[in-house]
Amino acid sequence: MKKIRLQKYLADCGVASRRKAEELILQGRISVNGTIVTELGTKVDDNDIIFFDGNRVKKEEQLIYILLNKPVGYVTTVKDQFQRPTVVDLVDVPERIFPVGRLDYDTSGLLILTNDGSLTYRLTHPKFKIKKVYRAILKGIPSREKIEKFEKGLKIEDYITALAKFKIIESSNNTSTVEITIYEGKNRQVRKMCESIGHPILKLKRICFGHLSLGDLPEGKWRKLKEDEISKLLEGRFL
């Protein structure tokens, strides 16, 4: 981690302007790692412990919002107990980020990562009913009757799924490519719903989350959300 001049660090932390921070240093009001510092040439980084008038100085964490096209073979967590690769391994940013919700190991597609805990709550709580769109390849070709059951709600373990949408895009060789839209996000829900109607998923990818879509983002790549995309999320405009 690159060290910077103490006065710049203090300014970056919002303590004072750089010039005013120089005065504070010269006045002996700043300590670094337990020692009062009065030299303007002192350099520090985030690993140093800095106090101003007895109060700890820390940089405010910059909020960051990432859209990742998750590949199959990555777990949606920060750290995995079995040492499998995680989605965080794919994103190179200095901030500590975490995934919003989950995509299982065998599912690819759109995943948001952030360090904004408040937004994460809103994006994952069922009461907000955020639209999630998946593209799936199923074994077999579902009948109209099965599609209607899927859309009206299915009994899955101890719950009944909410209203959903199901559209066949194409079918051939006893498989079908479908687009599925749900407004909740229980564990492996889409897979369980398709199994429930007798058409297990062979391949699954999430292509939309609220107003966000993958677009032409390559698999395994990521981008920071644009200002208007972030604004919609923060304002609760998920469509």
Q: Which of the residues 12, 104, 158, 228 is marked catalytic?
A: 104
Tokens 């030299």 belong to: 39
Does residue 116 have an active-site annotation? no
Tokens 């096209």 belong to: 69
Q: What is the DSSP string of the chain?
A: ---EEHHHHHHHTTSS-HHHHHHHHHTT-EEETTEE---TT-EE-TTS-EEETTEEE-PPPPP-EEEEEEPTT-BSSSS-TT---BGGGG---SS--EESS---TTEEEEEEEES-HHHHHHHH-GGG---EEEEEEEES---HHHHHHHHH--EETTEEPPP-EEEEEEEETTEEEEEEEES---TTHHHHHHHHTT--EEEEEEEEETTEE-TTPPTT-EEEPPHHHHHHHHTT---
183 neighbors 132 (Cβ within 8 angstroms): yes
- Give catalytic residue positions: 104
